[in-house]
Amino acid sequence: MYFTSPQQKQELKSYIKQIRMPLLLSGLGGLPYNCLSALVPIIQGWCIDQVLGGSYDDVVYAVIILAAVTIAYQFFRFFKRYSVRVMANRLSANLRYSLMEALFHTKNDELELKGSGDVLNTCVKDVDLLVEAIRKTVTEIWDTWVLMLAYLAALAMLDWKLTLLGCIPLPFAILCANAMKKKVVAENELAVKANSEASVKLKKTLDELTFARMSGCEELNLKALREAFQKQGDTNGLASFMKNGLAPIYLGIASLSVVVVVGLGSLKVVSRSMSVGALLSMISLMGTLAQRSTVASKVFNVQQGAIASWHNIFALLNREQDGSGESLSAPVNTLELAHVSYMYPQARHTAFCDFNLKVTKPSLIGIRGAVGSGKSALARTLCGFYDYEGSYKINDCEVKELSEASRAALLKYMPHQLSCVNGTLCEVITWGSHPDNDYKESKRQACLDELTDDKEIGENGSQCSSGQQQRISLARVLYSAAEILILDDPFANVDHKTEIQLIDMIRELANRKIIFVFSHRPLIFDVCDRVIQLEGGDCDEA
């Protein structure tokens, strides 16, 4: 199976279009299933009539028909159930694919604003909720509305006056269920909130337990946790009761229909204008109809929840995309920043403003400054994947207007923490290619010879020391052929001897490239062509 995103990614109906085949199949199963389901009680009643009044052969004949209809009925039921679920599974895979595709092209600033926890929640939970709602809606159309129609038709066939009379209580049951719906939803929301609060509190308590015990606030934390558990218990108890427990009330009202049929129907049978079997069929049909009418409104709740989920999904799909743009290829000659300002997505103040710089290749530029002077912000601006104000040009091309591919090819940014997916050293550095000569060269340059090529790095380098993480991050940048390198704090957690080796390597490399090095260690600045001192957003050439 190959999963793709549809043409019109932001429209739910284009996802439905993608799954039209299984949807059609479920319809093909659903129609005979519902017709047969109304037929089964009628045939059962007819069988009883044969037992009570017919010959033995009549009974055998009736029973064979019953068996055949039951098997056919269950066959179509299976067919419908299965294809609806296959449809749902395919839909969720397509949606997840589409979300990841949109995510990969969403601007980094927007990603940071959203937070990865929220995005994951949308990719997992919201997709599940939405798909569940669509599946239930499809099922509902068949199992509730079509089924109710079929049952009504069957009932009317047996006795239409009695059916009309019997149906009177049904709307009241539906109304009652609807009236309670708001309350049910509200209680459920309270419970969901309490659950997430309790789980957040629990995680926090556990994460901070050592600190809490040291500082003497463990009891205080546990007290808050117990309160959260108590609240969770209270709200969940009520919510689960409201969700499932109220059904008997609606069913009680709807069951009045059955009583009408039992009472008036029996009188008809006594006066011999109806058979016992027909009465039993009507009781059975009416019973199912009553039950269905009470759950019909339940599906509506699911749809309500799904709308919120679709909003979340839509918000991710509808982000400003950062895909196409002009293309620019090597060689790079100049790089120029004029009146550039940068602001972190969550912050209110600019990290630096009105920054000017002109660099020609080759160049090694050292940048230093105290914490909060805007070093990391400048590194982020230079890498080309974050929004900035002002003009930032490479060879007279505005970086903002370049395509993603061009920016990725020209610029390489080494952030101060290694960020990588799980894999071996070779996979992380080369993004999955085989160990070629370039790989060996960059591994040597980054002083990583102590690690074997198939060493498992772990997510974000969790299985390596912090010094190794730093050098892996560096090697990955060196492996690419980019002509502009931005190295944010490459020597942190690196011992003195390695630092000197790395400085020699960077110096040598800078004869062919433009390299920016951000550091708070002094050694590198001795070999730089230029050193820039950042101070509270201002800069000085040192």
Partner 1 sequence: MKHKILVPSIFSGFKSKKLITFFCFLSIAAGIYLQLLPSLLLKQITDEHIVPGIAQGVLSLAFVYLGAVLMSGAADLIKQYTLSRLTQSVIVEIKIQMSEKLRHLSIFTIQSKTSGEWMSYFSNDVDTIATLFTDDILTLIANLGSMAAISFTIYTLNPAVAFFVAAALPILVLISYRFNILTFRNQLKARASLSRLNGWLNSRIQNTPTLRFFHQEADQLDKLQAPLDENYRILNKTNFYDSLFPCIMNIFRGLVLICFLLYAKQDIDSGGLLSSGSVVACVNLLLQLLAPVEAIAMQLQTIQEAASGVKRIKDFENLEEEERAEREINGGGAVIRCDDLTFAYPNQKPIFDGLSLTIRQGERIVIQGKTGEGKSTLMNLLTGLYAPDKGTVSLLNKDPFGMSEEERRQSVGVISQLFLTRQGTIRELITLNDPAITDEQLKKCCKLVKMDEVIEKLPDGYDSMLAPGSNALSNGQMQLLALACALIHEPPVLFLDEMTSGLDAESENEVFEVIRQLSQDRTIFTISHRYSDALNPTCILKLQNGRLVIAD
Which residues in 461-490 contact partner 1 (CB under 8 A)? 476, 480
At 500, list the tokens: 């000197």
Q: Which is nearer to partner 1, 203 or 358 (CB)?
A: 203
Interface positions, 217-256, toward partner 1 (CB under 8 A): 217-222, 224-226, 229-230, 232-234, 236-238, 240-241, 244-249, 251-252, 255-256
Binders of partner 1 among residues 277 to 296 (CB under 8 A) are 280, 283-284
Residue 265 CB, nearest distance to partner 1 (Å)? 9
Closer residue to partner 1 (CB): 150 or 358? 150
Q: Is residue 87 within 8 Å of residue 26, measured between CB atoms?
A: yes
Least separation in angstroms between residue 157's CB and partner 1 is 21
Among positions 190, 262, 302, 531, the unique one binding partner 1 when judged by CB under 8 A: 262
Nearer to partner 1, 199 or 360 (CB): 199
Q: What 8-state DSSP symbol labels residue 399?
A: G
Binding partner 1 by CB under 8 A: which of 93, 165, 190, 302?
A: 93
- In the list 155, 212, 472, 502, the residue contacting partner 1 (rule: CB under 8 A) is 212
Nearest to 103 by CA among 90, 89, 91, 121: 121
Fill in the DSSP letter of residue 122: I
Of 119 and 302, nearer to partner 1 (C-beta) is: 119
Is residue 536 close enough to count as binding partner 1 by CB under 8 A? no
Structure tokens at 68: 């055949």
Angle between helical axes of 298-317 and 169-207 (0-180°, round to 10): 50
Compute CA 263 distance to the chain's CA centroid, rounded to the nearest angstrom: 54
Q: Does 202 bind partner 1 (CB under 8 A)?
A: yes
Checking DSSP bridges between strand 530-535 and strand 363-369, what pairing results, if any?
Answer: parallel
| Choice between 28 and 66, CB closer to partner 1 | 66
Work out whether 106 is an interface residue with partner 1 (CB under 8 A): yes
Q: Which of 183, 203, 440, 512 binds partner 1 (CB under 8 A)?
A: 203
Tell me whether residue 168 or residue 307 sits nearer to partner 1 (CB atom).
168
Q: 313-342 mask for partner 1 (x: CB under 8 A)?
A: ---------x--------------------
By the 8 A CB rule, do 387 and 109 touch? Answer: yes
- 286: which 2 tokens? 């009416």
Q: How far is CA 181 from CA 235, 244, 296, 347, in A?
A: 16, 12, 12, 42
> CA nearest 136: which of 276, 299, 301?
299
Return the biggest CA–CA distance within the chain: 112
Nearer to partner 1, 16 or 225 (CB): 225
CA–CA separation, 357 and 355 (whole Å): 7
Contacts 24+ apart (CB under 8 A), 298-303: 298/177, 299/136, 299/137, 299/140, 299/144, 300/178, 300/181, 301/181, 301/184, 301/185, 302/132, 302/133, 302/136, 302/137, 303/133, 303/136, 303/137
Q: How far is the CB of 338 from partner 1 (least distance, A)?
A: 24
Determine the size of the site formed for partner 1 (CB under 8 A).
134
The partner residues of 299 in beta bridges, in order of sequence, read none
Q: Where are the beta strands (DSSP E) in 153-243?
A: none
Binding mask 149-188 vs partner 1 (x if CB under 8 A, - otherwise)? ----------------------------------------
Task: Name the residue nearer to partner 1 (CB basis): 171 or 372.
Answer: 372
CB of 305 to partner 1, least distance (A): 20
Q: Which is nearer to partner 1, 146 or 286 (CB)?
A: 286
Touching partner 1, residues 356-395 (CB under 8 A) = 370-372, 383, 385
Q: Tell the smallest beta-carbon distance from residue 148 to partner 1 (Å).
A: 20
SS3 439: helix
